[in-house]
Amino acid sequence: MNARPNLVAVLLLLLVAALAAFLPAAARAIEQPVLTLTAEPAAVTYRSTTTLTAQGAPAGATLTLSRKRAGEADFTPVDSAVADAKGVTEWTRKPPQSAVFRVDLAEGDTWAAAFAETSVGVRHKVLLATVARKPLLQDQRVRYTVTVSPAHPGATVQLQHWTAAGWAPLKDLTLGADSKVSVSLRAGAPGRLVVRADVAADAEHLAGHSAPWKVTVYDRRNPYGVPKKYPHLILVDLSQYKLYYHEYGNVVRVFNCVLGRPSLPTPRGHFKIYAKDPHMSGPYGPFRMRYLGLYAIHGTNEPWLLDRNPRNYSHGCTRLSNANITWLYSRVHVGTPVWNVP
């Protein structure tokens, strides 16, 4: 008795399915994807990498990545990829200049077309190289060399120094044909000197600046920043082969010295004179002042070695001319600090 109604129902279902196959897409159930595009990081230095991530696409759908730079009217396709099972697609790029990136999803059987955009800012790459004496004394010259990438011949670079009020202009420079420029400037007054190179933003790039260069500028009378609390202090600069005698932070005398040979180097560090030996002779000269075991400051019976450079000939001791050790010995007491610095 119920066979006819059931048959009718089945026929109706088949008819609806057949008609659905011929209906336009607008008449069917179409998903509207919520597509997003992000860049991480959104601002990079020239030739650094950013990752573009598209989310919200149907699994297996093909996405097209396009790019539009400053001054360009239209987007240019640069790549394509297929969304994974979670609807995610990623690209890594090293953009040479700032750009807007766009991802497009073409219409499919069960989803509508969609797109999303994001911007990536590209900073100038600015390198600052310096040549300066060590230690750097007040008003001594520092040579600064700035290189900018990508090439910007003729562009302005500003050297800036850090002040209590923030970064302040130091010198405006013009890049040469090789996108480099050099200048020699005085270090200025004693204190902390912090300098960087800065390039302003343009249509294609964000503003960029170099890593800051930091150095201590010393008073000419106290080139190593020796505290004024010491009535007497001996400082040996191992790189210069020089001994600096200080009184209350000021350099009183500077002597050439011979230092330890490579196999027996003069020790680095801070020490104190613990013994003074007044009646020496031979390789020790007339006087010796010990500060670490047998390491000492003394005279010499080979004064001609003081005229050579480099002067690494001793067994680790610091040798002075006999005249200089005589002068120094009379002024230095047991307990006087000895600083051997690189």
CA angle 326, 227, 295 (to 5 degrees): 40
How is domain 125-218 classified at the CATH fold level? Immunoglobulin-like (2.60.40)
pTM of this structure: 0.66
pLDDT tens digits for range 200-216? 999 999 999 999 999 98
Report which secondary-structure segment, H or E, holds 12. Answer: helix 3-22
Fold that domain 233-341 belongs to in CATH: L,D-transpeptidase catalytic domain-like (2.40.440)
Give the Å distances, CA to CA, from 177 to 95, 174, 208: 23, 10, 19
Domain 31-123 matches domain 233-341 at the CATH topology level: no
DSSP state of 286: T
Q: Which residues of the chain have pLDDT under 70?
A: 1-28
Interval 3-23: pLDDT, tens:
555 666 556 656 655 555 555
Listed by start position, the domains of the chain span 31-123, 125-218, 233-341
CATH number of the domain located at residue range(s) 31-123 in this protein: 2.60.40.10
Instruction: Please give the structure tokens belonging to residue 263.
Output: 């196999």
Q: Distances in Å between the alpha carbon of 12 and those of 3, 17, 30, 181, 247?
A: 14, 9, 23, 83, 110
Two tokens, residue 282: 């031979």
